[in-house]
Structure 1
């Protein structure tokens, strides 16, 4: 039986294993770490590019636009293709694109080549996320929120470490040092061969085995599904606009309001990022146990009291409120992605591509918007405004239940 025929059997039941395959989930997480680490170094090298080539801020903005277009907007299309035509080794192929893009960027001597390089790196990422999310659900053994959280925390870690490594390796040694990160891309491509081999085996497993269907409520009308997807998009907007404000401007807020040093402000930002990583895993575990709708509802709305109080607190309580808001709001994304794929279980790649694309795109827009607003008003003002975004979490109460409830007789 060919891959396309196997894919048709897989639709609607992406959990085709007898138990959770933690070894594959760890590989997915490590791959996500390496992928997002590489992605995050591109904004970190802008100062080098600007100084070396005397680029304007507008030219830097176009580099960001091209990178975001290929890494975010293409994801739904690569996800749609992954649903229709699964390619077990697409993950390694995608990382090879990233490797080529990094080498181009390391030795680029004109603006066109730089744009080409970041677009190739972005295209590699657009292949990675939808397919890796599909494999993650395949390895979940029914614990889909936990599996997605394990996968997601790898990406969070990579995004946090990337700029640090760029500061240590690239900033002191210049543009050519970008080529050292090609080794990380090569390592990821090799790791993903193992992942692709397992993925191919599990696709073949569908032919000879009939696994129990996951406990998904299929009695939801198409209109209700699309309404639920719209609500999820609004929740993604509130979550990533708020977190973009924190990650981009929290250090400036602390320096401006409390007069702390740059090193202290960076340490405080690390506290938020640590809380974010812990909340990502915890949210997945709670989503499988208590229901994804309720975790989504709590994780966004529950962060609101701490977000609203934070701009008016003293330094100690500012750090505590930031930690708690990050811990709570981070638990949402894995449950949102899995909830959306439960609505449309035959389009896991497409849905994952849409929501990962939204995550990157809205995060970039949020950072730009709050930067513009800070220039017009003040750093403290943008934190007072952004604090109300988690209140949008109240609309999660309108989501239908996608998980069936086991009732013992």
Structure 2
């Protein structure tokens, strides 16, 4: 057993960050989201081999994201009452089954079923993974959550590369290589689970009281109505960001192929730049939020992305590459910050709140994929993507959020 993970390091909540654990759980987050990215990476291939419409591609994205979005807050609520370290490797086992199913699915419905297994595995992993991050974060929750989220965004960013190097040459059966990701994740989690169990034994039961006391000491307590209002605004912001993110992540590569004449491989580069910039934005966003405040970063990340989003559909190809990179950096800089802001709004319910916000992001992205896919079939994908570019303007609603302890 790796002593950096298994040896007692004191109380992780009180004595600073436990980097080895954060890096381990972040790497599993990367592997988990890479398995989800396999689904997106397969779209150009299965669109041809299974003769899928844009609407059906939207429904596949819906099945993946909605499964995890519905289950994440449920799993988080249960695990807040009864934390279960064994759920971490169990969730990866479901994803393993789903990835194997992707490689042999002969039809749209069987492909959907395999995707549901991957979604369930992700739903089980995320709330428990967020609790591990909470224990290992010390007092730097924004930075710690960013490390964790960077892993997930890095996994998502691999989708275009998988399309180029795996699915274009190997086709749908190439998904079987994704089972190696699930196996690697299980092996890493088996080394994290003993540390996590130790932290639960030392801190698990009183963590709710500690979190509430810390929140009360740091800032004036909010009333119930204020918390409900703030969560409602946060939900609307997540809604806008997720719909726009889904419109680019799912359909922009198809738009570039169908309307700009780019090859399937060439159309992956702008998507990769968008996702890779999001990884950087997530990392630096958490650091900046610890310094300048969660609310300011949430406002900057969504409203600040609006000018670039509005310009993107009208740019020549030469300008698409730098603008989509900047857009990805700004838009994703507030993703992990939203989770931490919600955790501080409702202290002591780390699993439920984390599952709600991240699950909501997946769920809203799922609805967005269905809506945009079906709208694209009816009115044209080029027109629908122009409409979607107005969504980040909703970021101005962030001014209505209560100030956090650094604002």
Q: Same fold (TM over 0.5)?
A: yes
The structure-2 alpha-carbon separation of the partners of 1:98 and 1:268, relative to structure 1 and needing over 3 Å to count, comes to: closer
Number of equivalenced pairs: 392
Residue equivalent to 1:293: 295
The whole-number CA distance in structure 1 between the counterparts of 2:380 and 2:206 is: 61
| Rounded Cα–Cα distance in structure 1 between residues aligned with 2:275 and 2:111 | 30
Conservation of the 8 A alpha-carbon contact between 1:75 and 1:126: yes
Structure 1 residues 382 and 223 mapped into 2: Cα distance closer, same or farther (>3 Å)?
same
1:7 maps to what in 2? none
Shift, 1:240, TM fit: 1.4
Report the CA distance between 1:347 and its aligned residue: 1.1
Q: Which residue of 2 aligns with 1:320?
A: 322
Q: Deviations over 1:95-147 (max 9, x none)?
A: 12222333455556788866554333322111001110111122111211111
Secondary structure of 2:214's counterpart equals coil
- C-alpha distance 193-224 of structure 1, shift in aligned 2 (>3 A): same
Q: Which moved more, 1:170-179 or 1:146-155?
A: 170-179
**Which range moves more in the overlay, 282-291 or 209-218?**
209-218
Which of 188, 191, 208 lines up with 1:194 in the alignment? 191
SS of match in other structure, 1:88: coil
Following TM superposition, by how much is the alpha carbon of 1:182 offset from its aligned partner in structure 2, in angstroms? 2.0
Q: Which residue of 1 aligns with 2:275?
A: 273
| Runs of 5+ consecutive residues of structure 1 not aligned to the other structure | 1-13
1:103–1:318 distance in 2 versus 1, CA, 3 Å: closer
- 1:79 is aligned to 2:76: yes
The farther-off stretch of 316-325 and 343-352 is 316-325
Report how far residue 280 of structure 1 moved: 0.9
The equivalent residue for 1:213 is 214
Q: Deviations over 1:39-68 (max 9, x none)?
A: 222344467767777888887776655444
TM-score normalised by length of structure 2? 0.84
**Larger deviation, residues 218-227 vs 67-76:** 67-76
Distance (whole Å) between structure 2 residues aligned to residue 66 and residue 396 of structure 1: 30
Match of 1:307 in 2: 309
- What corresponds to 1:371 in structure 2? 373
Unaligned runs of 5+ residues in structure 2 are 1-10
- For residues 302 and 162 of structure 1, do their structure 2 counterparts lie closer, same or farther at Cα, with a shift above 3 Å needed? closer
Aligned 1:6-405 pairs, distance under 5 A: 16-45=13-42, 65-106=62-103, 116-162=113-159, 164-165=161-162, 168-169=165-166, 172-173=169-170, 177-206=174-203, 213=214, 216-217=218-219, 219-254=221-256, 262-403=264-405
Q: Give, in whole Å, the separation in 2 of the partners of 1:253 and 1:49.
A: 17
Q: Which range moved further: 165-174 or 363-372? A: 165-174
Deviates more, 1:14-23 or 1:45-54: 45-54
* 1:274-316, Cα deviation, whole Å (9 max, x unpaired): 2211111111111111110111111111112222233344444
For each residue in 1:134-190, what CA deviation from the matched residue of structure 2 results, as whole angstroms up to 9, or x when unmatched?
111221112111111111111112122245336644565565554432222111011
The alignment partner of 1:74 has SS state of helix
Pair 243,154 (structure 1): closer, same or farther in 2 beyond 3 Å: same
Greater CA drift, 71-80 or 116-125? 116-125
Q: Distance in 1 between matches of 2:377 and 2:274?
A: 24
Q: Secondary structure at the match of 1:150?
A: helix
Cα separation, 1, equivalents of 2:52 and 2:137: 46
Q: CA deviation at 1:264?
A: 4.2
Counterpart contact for 2:35–2:178, Cα < 8 Å:
yes
What is the CA deviation profile of residues 188-225 of structure 1, one whole-angstrom value per residue up to 9, with x for unaligned ones?
01101222111112223338999893664351001110
Return the offset for 1:379.
4.0
Q: CA RMSD in A?
A: 3.3
Aligned to 1:6: none
C-alpha distance in 1 between matches for 2:145 and 2:268? 28
**Aligned 8 A contact 1:16 1:141 in 2:** yes
Tell me the CA shift for residue 378 of structure 1.
Answer: 4.0
